[in-house]
Amino acid sequence: MEIVLDILKKNESIRDAPDSIDANITAGKIEFKNITFTYDSELKIEDQRTILDDVSFTVPAGKSYALVGMTGSGKSTILRLLYRFYELQSG
């Protein structure tokens, strides 16, 4: 939790694109479509670490799902992406 609070204290580095549209939240559904995320994407290719590669899932409104997997499989990364702590490479 301390890490999240530290992140919230920092200046925003992710900004909406000039042509972005407001989120249209009507039913509370969460949907990730073909998400790819790589930590250190600015580094040369051999130093990059792809965490999520073409991941898709939907959590319907009113439902609870669990993220399970081994250490390093992307569970925390998915939550960080949901809160826009990081920018996607695609999806």
Q: Mean pLDDT over residues 17-27, rounded?
A: 76
Cβ atoms of 10 and 82 within 8 Å: the answer is no
Residue type for 74, please?
Answer: G
Determine which of 9-18, 59-68, 77-86 has the lowest per-residue pLDDT on average.
9-18
Over residues 33-71, the pLDDT tens digits come to 999 988 765 555 566 678 899 999 999 988 988 999 998
Could you give the CA distance from residue 2 to residue 90 in angstroms, rounded to a whole number? 28
CA atoms within 13 A on the CB side of 26: 1
Could you give the CA distance from residue 91 to residue 82 in angstroms, rounded to a whole number? 12
Could you give the CA distance from residue 89 to residue 1 in angstroms, rounded to a whole number? 26
Kindly give, in sequence order, each residue whose CB lies less than 8 Å from that of residue 57, ignoring residues fewer than 6 positions away. Answer: 31, 32, 65
Asked if the model's pLDDT at residue 25 lies above 60, the reply is yes
Q: What is the pLDDT of residue 39?
A: 79
- Cross-strand pairs, 57: 32
